[in-house]
Amino acid sequence: MHDQDIDTIDRGYCKTKHGCCAKLHVNDWLKDVQPPLQLHNVVEVRFKNTRKDYYQNSNNLSIKTGDLVAVESSPGHDIGIVSLVGPLVELQMKKHKPTLVNGELRKIYRLAKPTDIEKWKEAIALEHETMIKSRQITAQLKLDMKIGDVEYQGDKTKAIFYYIADDRVDFRQLIKVLAETFRIRIEMKQIGARQEAGRIGGIGPCGREICCSTWMHNFISVSTNAARYQDISPNPQKLAGQCAKLKCCLNFELASYVDAQRNFPPANIPLETETGTYYYLKADVFRGVYLYVKQGNTPSDQVYVPVARVSEIQKMNRKGAKPAKLIDKEEAPVVNREKEPDTFHNVVEQGDLTRFDKPKGANRKKKRNIHRNVQRRSGQNQK
């Protein structure tokens, strides 16, 4: 089976032109190392969407990454693409729990035959039509659920219906109607809004493809505390992703912010000085600076105060004392001075924003004069 053939029939398996789904792809960094004995007979096989499982190569077939194989299923057999072979499979099995039948892994029957591949193609072609029809049946039964995707088994004897529902749904009648309509076995799997967004895909506000459709496998709950620790404005429209839930990327740098603020003083206490009362505005976490504004002033008159100075003033206020000033000029952080030292170094020397502002008229005239002189000399030589 060539890569081009796999790419044409791999609808739903792969979203790239290289024939490998970025979310299910595994980099076999030991593929160039040949073990003395082939002791690993477990193979990783991926299917549509985010589904993959591990099978035992009990027949000692010559299998390599990218092969189409017929594997054991319940009932019948399924068709999948081999995504990993060799010793790394055991490490992958620790992250993704395999499906066991009577305490054993399911088996690989054979390499996919042309008849298996033709039936697999027919099954893939039925998925979209089946999904639309099943949504109509769901609406007729007045069930509060949405069928997001359908995945047929390779032998067309079974289909998995992925659905989304906020509450518990009694779909026993739905299964009967679907089985009578499509003449197949029905399996219902509930997914969340994040999983649905991962299947649909899209572009995030960062300009890149959303993480849940490219590399994320496990979805950790995101709370509003993640935005609070990072001092992000609690705007629901900006914090929500395409799934209408809080963005997963709010958790990416959360641990760094929590560690940086471990010894920070509380920010909800105003600072009392002899010149007036100062209220907290926001924080620059990694510089260790709080921004305060004096009572009666506008936010543009903000003052940068180190967290150590904030702790000192809070201790003085608790004892009933007030400092003469909020901060001395000598103690003021760098951001409070007129000119901040340059921390950016252009080592590539290609990012000068003024490189296009230089006049080019003189250079063009020189080039024209040189070109004319060359033409004149060539004409004189010909004479």
Q: Domains (ranges, CATH) in the chain?
A: 3-112 (no CATH), 119-191 (3.30.300.20), 197-260 (no CATH), 271-336 (no CATH)
In the chain, the percentage of residues whose pLDDT exceeds 70 is 76
Q: Which of 10-19, 224-233, 258-267, 314-323 has the lowest mean pLDDT?
A: 10-19
Q: Which residues pair with 182 in a beta bridge?
A: none
pTM score over 0.95: no
Residue 125 pLDDT greater than 70, yes or no: yes
Q: What is the pLDDT of residue 35?
A: 59
Q: What is the mean pLDDT of residues 300-325?
A: 91
Amino acid in the structure at residue 230: Q
Quick: pLDDT tens for 228-255: 889 888 888 889 998 889 999 999 999 9
Q: What is the pLDDT of residue 196?
A: 87
Q: Hey, is 284 helix, strand or coil?
A: strand
Instruction: Identify the helix (H) or strand (E) that includes residue 200.
Output: helix 193-200
Q: What is the mean pLDDT of residues 217-226?
A: 86
Q: What is the mean pLDDT of residues 284-302?
A: 89
Query: What is the C-alpha separation between 92 and 82, in angstroms, rounded?
Result: 14
Q: Hey, is 105 helix, strand or coil?
A: strand
Residue 162 pLDDT greater than 70, yes or no: yes
Integer CA distances (angstroms), 13 to 22, 200, 231, in order = 10, 12, 39
Q: What is the pLDDT of residue 250?
A: 93
Q: Hey, is 155 helix, strand or coil?
A: coil
Question: 120 vs 338, which has greater pLDDT?
Answer: 120
Q: Hey, is 47 helix, strand or coil?
A: coil
Residue 37 pLDDT greater than 60, yes or no: no
Q: What is the pLDDT of residue 279?
A: 93
For 82, list phi and psi in degrees, rounded to 5.
-70, 125
Q: What is the pLDDT of residue 118?
A: 93
Question: 137 vs 58, which has greater pLDDT?
Answer: 137
Residue 18 pLDDT greater than 60, yes or no: no
Q: What is the pLDDT of residue 28?
A: 74
Residue 338 pLDDT greater than 60, yes or no: no
Query: Taking the CA atoms of the chain, what radius of gyration do you get in angstroms?
Result: 32
Q: What is the pLDDT of residue 48?
A: 77
Cis upstream peptide for 270 (omega within 30°): no
Q: What is the mean pLDDT of residues 159-166?
A: 91
Amino acid in the structure at residue 355: R
Q: How high does pLDDT run on average in the chain? A: 82
- 313, 303 Cβ separation under 8 angstroms: no
Question: Given 3-state DSSP classes, what are the helix, strand and coil percentages for the chain, each rounded to the nearest 5?
Answer: 35, 20, 45
